[in-house]
Structure formats: structure tokens, C-alpha cells
Amino acid sequence: FQDVMQLLEELRELREQPTDPQAEQEIIDSIEEVYFSSDSFDTVQYELEKLPPDLNLLELEEYRDKLKRQQAAVSKRVADLILEKQPSYVKELERVTSLQTNLQLAAVICTNARRQLRSAKEGFTEASLGLLANQRRRQLLTGLLKSLRTIKPLQRTDVRLSEMLEEEDYSGAIQLCLECQKAASTFKHYNCISELNSKLQDTLEQIEEQLDVALSKTCKHFDVSHYTKVQLAYKLLGKTQTAMDQLHMHFTQAIHNTVFQVVLGYVELCAGNADTKFQKMPYKDLCTHITTDSYIPCLTDLCKALWEVMLSYHLTMQWHDEHYKEEETTPGAEGSDESTVGRSYVKKKLEHGLTRIWQDVQLKVKAYLLGTDVSNFKYDDFIVVLDVISRLMQVGEEFCGSKSELLQESIKRQSVNYFKNYHRTRLEELRMFLENETWELCPVKSNFSIAQLHEFRFMGQCRSPSVSPSRQPESTEPVELCLFEQYLQGGNPFEMQIDNKEEETEDVLASNGYESDELEKSVYQDYDSDSDVPEELKQDYVDEQTGDGPVKSVSRETLRSRKRSDYNAPILTNTTLNVIRLVGKYMQMMNILKPIAFDVIHCVSQLFDYYLYAVYTFFGRNDMVCISKHFCSPPCSVLILKIMQYLLFTIGSLLCPHASPEERKEKVPSPHLSQLVILMSSDTLYGLAERVVATESLVFLAEQFEFLQPHLDTTMPSAKKPFLQQFYSQTVSTASELRKPIYWIVAAKAIDYEQMLLLMAGVKWDIKEIMSQHNVYVDVLLKEFEKFNQRLGDVSKIVRIPLPVSNVLWEHCIRLANRTLVEGYANVKKCSNEGRALMQLDFQQFLMKLEKLTDLRPIPDKEFVETYIKAYYLTENDMEQFIKNHREYSMKQLTNLVNVCLGSHINKKARQKLLAAIDDIDRPKR
């Protein structure tokens, strides 16, 4: 204390020294900052290090004085600060002294207290306190033992949980785990229980993971008991809605994984190597590596796999519907509002998932369909593709009521591409068939029907009577179940697609049953012409064919019976049968794929048009020289002109309206008749057999089109039905009209009309007395008709001549003969009344004999001849009216009437008047 007081005194003296505050502050400011850095700073060392190498005493003394001044200024400043705090320091020093005194007193009090406590301990009964402590410890240990007995089973829970998970008792495992967690929360103050609680939580999460895996398994193979366990487990967890979200995610993943694995399997199988580059490809790119041979099997397996997924979803919805119905019907099972909300959420989620899952299925199948160019597929293979996709669209409609727009768009795109190439190829093949066709009869059974052909099985028509009852369809078919009900217990709707592909087609070819050609010929001789056929054979006689092979010993009656059964068999060629089969294939495609129905029907009409055009081109065109200088063949009908202009259509514009000009130039060439078919030989009656087969096959084809019209009409879009009606009214219904131009050529060449004109020119008609004997030209003409009838019978041995054909032939020949008679009468230079009567006698003789040769009634153009002969007797006024009313006669024929018949009893002025009237009639024609 004295030292402190002495220091203070020195500081006071130092402070009392007179100084300049500003100069003092400048000295302090001049001190280097390093002196203020830290307490450990060594000033001496610092100053010594600053000394220069060469010391100067004067400079050192100056620097020393400077440091002293700085030290004095700092000391003075410190002294000022200390003196300013002196009162506080004195006061605090007094408090320290007082505190020291109090501490000494407290030490005395503590010493006394310790001494007294030691006395209390010695004086208190230590045994009593020990007993209390032991009792308390006993109670604690008893509680601990009870807790340990509870903890011991908890520690063994993980083993039981693992066993329950292996047994797929998910609900029991969750319930056990929750009970253990509840028990563990009671003993959470134990360290071991704290670890157990954490382990139970991990186990519960593991159970949820395994539960999620179990839930994913229901996406491919739904099992009621398995799914019930899973749903009950999620209900115990309180995660029913979460489970539904997970379920839809699994279904989406299942669709992707399923299709990818199916396609990958086929791609790797066809690749033939162990390269795994395909596994890293996107599904869309992977589909482009499918080969043509594996396309249909892969598509079928793809649809089978997707069916399993959709069936599982359908069964999932069915399970929830039944489960909720049970809850509603169970007494006292009304759930809380939360439960009701949960059911509503699940129901909406499942209903929304239908469309979503079907959309995923469509996208996957669409990528597969468009990944391969199917334009070069075989027809049967493409039909299988269409059939599979059609069945898949049926599944989609039953699954969620979808119209499968994506599938329709993709299969339509492929179908248009395929059908465009297919139709072009078929037309080329048809042209090849027509150009190689020898127009020989294709023998078919008398009860032949297109419904017997494999291509028309899809129409569901009844079979012919020759089919055994075991193969006939049931008369009453049960109501067809939906696919999900039909295949609920097993099977797959896509397993039946290829089963019927190789089903044998019914044998439609007839077995002639003849031992030799001579025997067959002898039978034909009994039916050498249509007119000689018994009336019962002219009716639609149908006999069931047994299909047995030829028998060596055949009686004549048996041959007659078989001949009758085959006599009314349809007349058609191999080409006709191919066209019919082709129409059936087109209709199959149209029936399966409605969006391109109009395009297909359009092509079907072109097949018929092309066949009709070929028949007319081959047999109906009159490329020969005119029959005579007086007669020409009838003009080509409007129908043929329309086909000639339209049929050579542009392939590119058929299905692609916006095709390039180069594609539009590609046309179907006009067919050419085979060189093996001879139409100019009189021995074959100018190819009459071939003409009959060709024409009647066309008529038969038209009849089949008439039969198919109702089916085509139901398939045709409403907006396009006028096209179908026009096709039938203007083309199909007029096919039989081709008989006239085709058989006209035969009739024009079969009889020598020029010879008859020459014979008539040699007859003297200006006779003076009535003759009782007809002229020779009549007999010659009748012999020509008898010869024609005989040759017609010879042709009938080769091919049956139907009654309409026979009638057309006779009608043409008789018309030409009658017009030749009129032309011959018009060539007469002089004629008397007796000569005109001789004309009537000749004509009546001709009619009388002709009626014995033919059953055709009435005789064609009979009035044409009789009216012309009777015109000789008309007066001047009647002749003028006759000229105006009968324009069917040529100008030459009318002029002959005026000059020859009336010339003898009318004046020149009247003759000029009538000739002027004839000229007025002829002028519009010119």
C-alpha cells in the first residue's frame, strides 16, 4: 500500500510539470504502432534490430532523446489517467478489505457447522437409514425384473416377424409390429428398448417394401387371397389410398416391362447372337428390329401378355366392388366419414385408371404396329394381324368402353399402305390370269355356293346340304359372353387367332365320275342341246354330291343321274373363282377394319369392272369386218364406254388422293386374249364355247355380287352408299346385257346371210300368177338354221348352254335373217302383186319351219318383215303416214317401196313428194 501511495506521489509530481498538451499529443502520435501491438513485444530487441550497420553517435543520441521524450509523454499520460481514477481505487480498496474480514468470519462459521454435522452423524442411527435405502433398492429391482420379463419377448419379435413375412402373413406381421412398438414406447427409458424401437421401425419399413413388391405381383397374375392379404395389411397401416397410387404405378410399369421383355425376347432370338445392345434400346426403336417371320407370333404374345395385365386390373376392380358391397350389407359396418372418403377415392382412382391403362396399352401396340412395314405381308398373315388387333380393340371396348382411336389410326395407316400394294398386285395378277385364261369350264358341284369358300366363312352363312350335321353350326347360339367373363377362369382370347387359319376349305370341285372320255361323251350325246334337255332338267335341280372317286362299273342310269346333277352347275372359270376368292379376302379385310371399308368396296367394284371389261374386250368387240355391207353389229352400250374410260384408273389416286404425278401415271394395262383361244374358226362356231364360259361366268359373278350386296351395304359408310347403289344399278345389274354384243358376233357369222341375198337377187318377182311353191332361198336359209342348231348341239357337249344364252343366239340369228329378208326384198327392181304374195308365202314357210327348230316365242322381228311386205298394198296417203311412223326401215328400203311398189300406179309428182318425206326423215341422222 505504501508502494502504491509512493507511486501515486511520483505521478502527481510528474503531472505537475508544465507541458503543452498539443505537443504532447504529437509526440504520442509519433510512436510507432508496433509498440501498442501486444504485451509480449520486446522493445529492446526491436530497437536494437533497427540500428543501422554503421553507427553514428550523434544520430544515436538524437534518437535516444526522441525515445525519452516519447517515454516521458506516455508516462505523463499514464500518470494522468491513474490520478483520475484514484478516488475509485481507494473506495474499491476499502471494499476489498471489508470482504476479507467477512470471509474470515464465514470460515469460522463453516468450521463450526462441520463440527456440529459430524456430531449429528455420530448421534443418528445409521442402521435405520440403511434399512430404508435397502427397501427402496428392493422395490426398484422388483420393477426392473417385471420390465425385463416384458422386454425379453420384445427382443425375440424380429424372428417371428421374419417367419410371418415368409408366410405372406403381412397383416399379422404389421399388427405384431405395431403392438411391439406400443409396448416399447412404455419402456423407452431403457437403452436396449430405445434400440429395439428403432429396429421395429426399420422392420415396419421393410414390411412396407415387401408389401409393395407383393402388390406389384398382382398386376400380372391376380390372386384373390393374395390381394386380400395385401389390402388388409395396407388397411392396418392406414395407407389404403397410398396403396392405390402405388398399384397404378405398378400397372404402368408392368405394361412397359411386359411388352419390352416380349419384344426383346423375339429380337434377341432372331438376332442369333449374345449381343446385349438391344437391352439398352428404347422400346420404340426395339420394335423396328422385329423380323417379318416373327412379327405375328410376337404380336400375339404381346397381346396375350397385355391381356393378362388388363384381366388382373379387371379382377382388381371386381374385388373392390364386391368388398365394398359386403361392407355395406354387413350390419353395423357403416364406416366413418374418413372410410367413406377412402372408398370414394379408391373407386374414382380405379375408374380413372381404366382409361389410363388402356391408353398405355394402345401406345405400346401402336409403336409395335408402326415399327414394321407390313405392305409385303401375305394376305393370310395380314388378316391375322387385323384379326388380332380387332380382338384387342374388342378387349378395349369391354375394358373401358374405348373406341381405340390410336389403334384404329395406326392399323388404318398400315392397312391403307398394305391394301394399296395388295390391290395393285392383285390387279396385275388378274390381268395375268385373264391373259392366260383359255376360258374352259371349271367343274364345280351343282350346289356350289360362295358360302362354302374359306374366304367367306366370316359371313356366318349356312353351309350347303352336303356338309355333315356334325360340322353344321348350332341352330340356336347362346348369348355370347364378354371376353373378361369368358376367359375369367383361364385361357386367352388371343390363342384362337391362328387355330382356324389352316382349316380345310370345303371341296367345291365336282367329280365327274366317268370311267373314260368316251363314256362321258356318250352321256353328253343324250343332252346335245338345251332344247333337247327334259323340262325337269331346265329347273334348278340340285343333287347332293358324295365326293366319292370314280367307279369303274357305272350304269347308264347312274351316269344320267350324275349328269343331271351337274347339268345345272354354275358356269365359271378358274379366273372367276379366283376373283370370287379375292372379293372374299377384300370383304374379310373390310369386315375387320371398318375405316377403310369404302376404299375396299371401291377396289371390289374395280375387280368386277376389270373382269367385265376383259370379257367385253375379248369377245364383245366386233373387230371383224361387218357382217355385210348392209348390217353392222349393235353399238357398244353406255356401260362399256364408261368402263373403258374409267377402268384404266390411276393406282396412286385410289387410296392416296394427294399422290404425286408420277404415281398417277401408273395404270393397269388393258388385258389381251390368249393366243390359244381361237374365235375365227367356223368349226367351233366362232369360239362359242369360250364365249359361253366367259359370258356366263361374268353373269355368275354378277349374281354373287347381288348376293353380297346386303353385307356390303351394312359395311359401307352412309355418305358413300350412293356409290354402291350406282355400282349395282349401272354395272352389276347390266352384266347380262353383254350377252347381246358377244353372241351377236356368233350369230352374224354362223349363217351365210350374203348367200341368201344373192339367191334372193336371182328370184323373179314380177310374175303374173300366184305361186304355190316357195323359193329355194328359203330352204337354203332353213338348212343354215338346221346346221346352226346342230353345231349348237355340238358345242353343248363341251359346255352347257343355258336357256337365256340359247334364246339370245336364236334371237340374234332370226333378227339378222329377217332383216336380211327385208334387205333382199328392198333390192327388188320389179315386183307384181303376185310377186308380193310370193314374198308372203316364202316368209310363212320360213316361219313354219323355224318354229320347229326353236322354242323362242314370239319370233323376233316377225312384224318387221310382215309390215314391210304389206306396205306394198298401201295407198299414196297411207304410204306417207307409213314413212313417218316406221323409222326402223332404212332410207333405201323406204325408197324401194315408193319406186317399185307404188311406182306403177302413182304419178311422178306424188313419187317425188314421198321421196322428199323419206329424205326429211334421214336428214337428222346425217
pLDDT band at 734, cuts 50/70/90?
confident
Of 807, 838, 861, the residue at which a domain comes to its end is: 861
Cis, bond preceding 858 (omega within 30 deg of 0): yes
Q: Are residues 70 and 137 in the same domain?
A: yes
Cα–Cα distance for residue pair 627/815, rounded to 1 Å:
13
What pLDDT does 561 receive? 42
Q: Which domain holds residue 898?
A: 874-925
CA atoms within 13 A on the CB side of 690: 23
Residue 609, in any domain of the structure: yes
Closest by alpha carbon to 608, among 502, 738, 458, 469? 738
Q: Are residues 719 and 577 in the same domain?
A: yes
pLDDT band at 338, cuts 50/70/90?
low
Which of 362-376, 489-503, 591-605, 677-691 bottoms out in mean pLDDT, i.e. has the lowest? 489-503
CATH number at residue 823: 1.20.58
* pLDDT tens figures, 40-61: 778 888 888 888 888 888 888 8
Q: What percent of the chain has pLDDT over 70?
A: 73
Name the average pLDDT for the chain.
77
What pLDDT does 31 receive? 84
Which of 568-572, 608-612, 624-628 bottoms out in mean pLDDT, i.e. has the lowest? 624-628
Residue 600, in any domain of the structure: yes
Which of 118-132, 253-267, 309-323, 732-746 bottoms out in mean pLDDT, i.e. has the lowest? 118-132
Residue 445, in any domain of the structure: yes
What pLDDT does 865 receive? 92
What pLDDT does 813 receive? 93
Q: Judge whether residue 292 has pLDDT over 70.
A: yes
How large is the average pLDDT for residues 66-93?
84
Cα–Cα distance for residue pair 313/248, rounded to 1 Å:
9
Most confident of 456-470, 548-562, 627-641, 770-784: 770-784
Cα–Cα distance for residue pair 243/217, rounded to 1 Å:
13
Q: Are 309 and 220 contacting, i.e. CB atoms less than 8 angstroms apart?
A: yes
What pLDDT does 103 receive? 93
Residue with cell 424380429: 158
Q: Judge whether residue 656 has pLDDT over 50.
A: no
Q: Judge whether residue 640 has pLDDT over 60.
A: no
Say which residue, 194 or 704, is predicted with more confidence: 704
pLDDT band at 466, cuts 50/70/90?
very low
Q: Are residues 67 and 149 in the same domain?
A: yes
Residue 190, in any domain of the structure: no
Q: Are residues 152 and 76 in the same domain?
A: yes
Cα–Cα distance for residue pair 450/456, rounded to 1 Å:
7
What pLDDT does 506 receive? 54
Residue 687, in any domain of the structure: yes
Q: Are residues 601 and 708 in the same domain?
A: yes
Of 112, 129, 159, the residue at which a domain comes to its end is: 159
Closest by alpha carbon to 398, among 430, 363, 356, 354? 354
Say which residue, 506 or 20, is predicted with more confidence: 20
Which of 285-289, 459-463, 731-735, 904-908 bottoms out in mean pLDDT, i.e. has the lowest? 459-463
Q: Judge whether residue 663 has pLDDT over 50.
A: no
Say which residue, 151 or 36, is predicted with more confidence: 36
pLDDT band at 107, cuts 50/70/90?
very high
Of 159, 192, 213, the residue at which a domain comes to its end is: 159
pLDDT band at 218, cuts 50/70/90?
confident
Entry field: residues in the chain: 926
pLDDT band at 157, cuts 50/70/90?
low
* Number of domains forming the structure of the chain: 4
pLDDT band at 92, cuts 50/70/90?
confident
Residue 80, in any domain of the structure: yes
What pLDDT does 9 receive? 67
Q: Are 648 and 670 contacting, i.e. CB atoms less than 8 angstroms apart?
A: yes
In the chain, how many H helices and how many E strands? 36, 0
Cα–Cα distance for residue pair 793/799, rounded to 1 Å:
10
Q: Judge whether residue 545 has pLDDT over 60.
A: no
What pLDDT does 151 receive? 60
What is the DSSP secondary-structure string of 880-899? HHHHHH-TTS-HHHHHHIII
User: Which residues are CB-neighbours of 108 under 8 A, at least 6 positions away?
Assistant: none
Cα–Cα distance for residue pair 866/862, rounded to 1 Å:
6
What pLDDT does 781 receive? 92
* pLDDT tens figures, 815-832: 999 999 999 998 888 888
Which of 300-304, 334-338, 700-704 bottoms out in mean pLDDT, i.e. has the lowest? 334-338
* pLDDT tens figures, 856-906: 889 999 999 999 888 888 877 888 888 888 888 888 888 888 887 665 567
Phi-psi map region of 685: left, alpha, beta (phi>0 left; psi -120 to 50 alpha): left
DSSP 3-state of 860: coil
Q: Are residues 672 and 634 in the same domain?
A: yes
* pLDDT tens figures, 382-417: 888 888 888 898 899 888 888 888 888 888 888 888
DSSP symbol at 1: -
Cα–Cα distance for residue pair 94/499, rounded to 1 Å:
120
- pTM listed for this prediction: 0.63
Q: Are residues 582 and 719 in the same domain?
A: yes
What pLDDT does 916 receive? 86
How large is the average pLDDT for residues 336-347?
73
Q: Judge whether residue 232 has pLDDT over 70.
A: yes
Which of 76-80, 151-155, 746-750, 868-872 bottoms out in mean pLDDT, i.e. has the lowest? 151-155
Q: Are residues 810 and 842 in the same domain?
A: yes
How many CB atoms neighbour CB 892 within 10 A? 13
Residue 764, in any domain of the structure: yes
How large is the average pLDDT for residues 519-536?
38
Say which residue, 658 or 75, is predicted with more confidence: 75
What pLDDT does 278 receive? 81
What is the 3 state secondary structure string of 834-855?
A: HHHHHHHHHHHHHHHHHHHHCC
What pLDDT does 10 receive? 64
Which of 121-130, 506-515, 653-662 bottoms out in mean pLDDT, i.e. has the lowest? 653-662
What pLDDT does 126 receive? 63
pLDDT band at 154, cuts 50/70/90?
low
pLDDT band at 183, cuts 50/70/90?
low
Q: Are residues 701 and 838 in the same domain?
A: no
Q: What percent of the chain has pLDDT over 90?
A: 15
Residue 87, in any domain of the structure: yes
pLDDT band at 487, cuts 50/70/90?
confident
Q: Judge whether residue 91 has pLDDT over 80.
A: yes
What pLDDT does 555 receive? 39
Q: Are residues 783 and 703 in the same domain?
A: no
Q: Judge whether residue 381 has pLDDT over 50.
A: yes
Q: Judge whether residue 277 has pLDDT over 60.
A: yes
Q: Judge whether residue 579 has pLDDT over 90.
A: yes
Q: Are residues 644 and 678 in the same domain?
A: yes
* pLDDT tens figures, 619-632: 887 644 444 444 54
Q: Are residues 851 and 885 in the same domain?
A: no
DSSP 3-state of 548: coil
